[in-house]
Structure 1
């Protein structure tokens, strides 16, 4: 049976690969991105998030089956703070009411294996407190510092998003309403966002020194799309609050048995 999926960041990379896969399987996809999909929306702003929710509601006639909050930035800037955390949370929360009419509602977000790296604790605290002005100000401070300090932004936003998923998935609003809420955490994937790290043999070798991926190395967006497709499908009825690392082994190498 055909389902209706909303995918943010659907114009390229993992989002486009997932949209293409679902359309091939006979489903309806409502794509959201800055441009080039069904709905143009800037998820770095409150107005953009609100317009996205309204547009999805109109286009879907008030009912969707799954949300895939995939939109994100990998730049060492304050804009990454706005999109990766607040944009993702607003997508999930804003579209949750539209899932109520589905017989098999599902929600998934795209985190990252970068969530394993040490965060900027001040930014992390502000994100989890929901303090967007404070988080943006801290992001601007990190951006201005540049270098390794600015590079803390991306991983910190993804760690915060993973924690948000863990803290909310078992709540009455999600699990209690029959909505599995989970996330994927990809390793290095060949997308426009990672072009600087994957374009040459030298760049790939350098990034693999930072991100160990012993199982088949760097991979294509379609590989993540298969996992997202299952997590957002009716078959996934019991996975709750899981952040699934699809990373060629980075999680296993970096954390070992520490999760147990």
Structure 2
């Protein structure tokens, strides 16, 4: 028998977030959705004011106890706001809910990253994000955006790379592991959502996307293929998986990186 849990889902109005919220409700969990509209909590996660408001309203709606957070809110436009939403809109929102998570018997958190973490990035944006310097990250992103959409697009992979690295860094700290909270990321490939509809509208654009994101296993994926993994990562059954960015991408990571994931192996202990 499934024990009902209280979930907070950002980006709950569409795409993967809507799918996650729907699956949770179907199995009897309580869901507090966070989005710009059509959600229990309507807030703009691109600003500190919006994040603080979201945290306050979530705490009020949950009586201060949250079992799990699934952070799906994100955008891909070649503008600085992408960094504000995709990185700071996740990390600062989650940090604001730490005490509410701590009150759960089995707190869990998962965020949506992207296989775009494997694409070229702006190291300046990544570094600023990891230093929690939003002003600098947005300044760099604005400078890139001024050079046109192709260069401005760097805001997207940079924000997602920074998010996955943040998950890796934070997962073993006292704030997260010390509170017994597994913290993970899922990196999808090309997901069939409203955000990708225009991107996949012509044969030429599909060919371009598939060249950048090769998915030999089953091709473009449904939101459900991502949501089901997010549900397991945030279930009480997950007791030890933490700090991982799981590439749920039809093989894109394996094609693009091959064995490269092993180049940073831990050195043997001195004998």
TM-score by length of 1: 0.98
Tell me the distance in 2 between the aligned counterparts of 1:160 and 1:70: 15
Tell me the distance in 1 between the aligned counterparts of 2:190 and 2:240: 28
Tell me the distance in 1 between the aligned counterparts of 2:138 and 2:152: 13
Partner-residue secondary structure (3-state), 2:261: coil
Structure richer in helix, relative to its length: 1
**2:145 corresponds to which of 133, 143, 146:** 143
Tell me the distance in 1 between the aligned counterparts of 2:95 and 2:56: 13
Partner-residue secondary structure (3-state), 1:67: strand
Q: Give the equivalent residue in structure 1 for 2:248.
A: 246
Q: Give the equivalent residue in structure 1 for 2:64.
A: 62
**2:48 corresponds to which of 27, 35, 46:** 46
Q: Give the equivalent residue in structure 2 for 1:186.
A: 188
**Segment of structure 1 superposing worse, 145-154 or 19-28:** 145-154
Aligned residue runs from structure 1 range 1-260, under 5 A: 1-260=3-262
Tell me the distance in 2 between the aligned counterparts of 1:237 and 1:198: 38
Aligned partners of 2:78 and 2:150 also within 8 Å = no
Partner-residue secondary structure (3-state), 1:5: strand
In the TM superposition, what is the alpha-carbon distance from 1:200 to its structure 2 partner?
Answer: 3.8
Q: Give the equivalent residue in structure 1 for 2:268.
A: none
Q: Which has the larger radius of gyration?
A: 2
In the TM superposition, what is the alpha-carbon distance from 1:150 to its structure 2 partner?
Answer: 0.9
Runs of 4+ residues over 4 Å off in structure 1: none
Cα RMSD of the aligned pairs, angstroms, is 0.9
What do the CA deviations read for 1:185-240 (whole angstroms, capped 9, x no partner)? Answer: 01110111112222344432221011111111101111101000101101111101
In the TM superposition, what is the alpha-carbon distance from 1:159 to its structure 2 partner?
Answer: 0.1
Count of residue pairs the alignment pairs up: 260
Aligned partners of 1:69 and 1:91 also within 8 Å = no
Q: Give the equivalent residue in structure 1 for 2:267.
A: none
Tell me the distance in 2 between the aligned counterparts of 1:148 and 1:203: 15
Tell me the distance in 2 between the aligned counterparts of 1:211 and 1:13: 19
TM-score by length of 2: 0.94
What do the CA deviations read for 1:98-124 (whole angstroms, capped 9, x no partner)? Answer: 111111100111100000112111111
Aligned partners of 2:45 and 2:89 also within 8 Å = yes
Partner-residue secondary structure (3-state), 2:155: helix
Unaligned runs of 5+ residues in structure 2 are 263-271
In the TM superposition, what is the alpha-carbon distance from 1:176 to its structure 2 partner?
Answer: 1.4
In the TM superposition, what is the alpha-carbon distance from 1:151 to its structure 2 partner?
Answer: 1.4
